[in-house]
Amino acid sequence: MMPTEAELRKEIDAELSTGWQVTLAICGDEVVGFLAIRPDEAVLAELFVRPGSLGKGIGQALLARAIGAMPDGFTLFTRPGNTRARRFYEKAGLVVLREATHPQFGDPIVYYEWRRR
pLDDT at residue 76 in the model = 96
- The CA–CA distances, whole Å, from 13 to 19, 96, 99, 100 equal 10, 30, 29, 27
Catalogue all structural domains in the chain, each as residue range(s) with its CATH number.
5-114 (3.40.630.30)
pLDDT at residue 30 in the model = 93
pLDDT digits (tens, 9 = 90+) for 59-104: 999 999 999 999 999 999 999 999 999 999 999 999 999 999 988 8
Count the neighbouring beta carbons within 10 Å of the beta carbon of residue 38: 18
Please tell me the pTM assigned to this model: 0.84
The answer to whether 109 and 80 have CB atoms below 8 angstroms apart is yes
pLDDT digits (tens, 9 = 90+) for 9-61: 888 777 777 778 999 999 999 999 999 999 999 999 999 999 999 999 999 99
**Three-state DSSP state, 37:** strand
Banded pLDDT at 2 (limits 50, 70, 90): low
Is 103 buried (19+), middle (13-18) or exposed (0-12) by CB count in 10 A? exposed
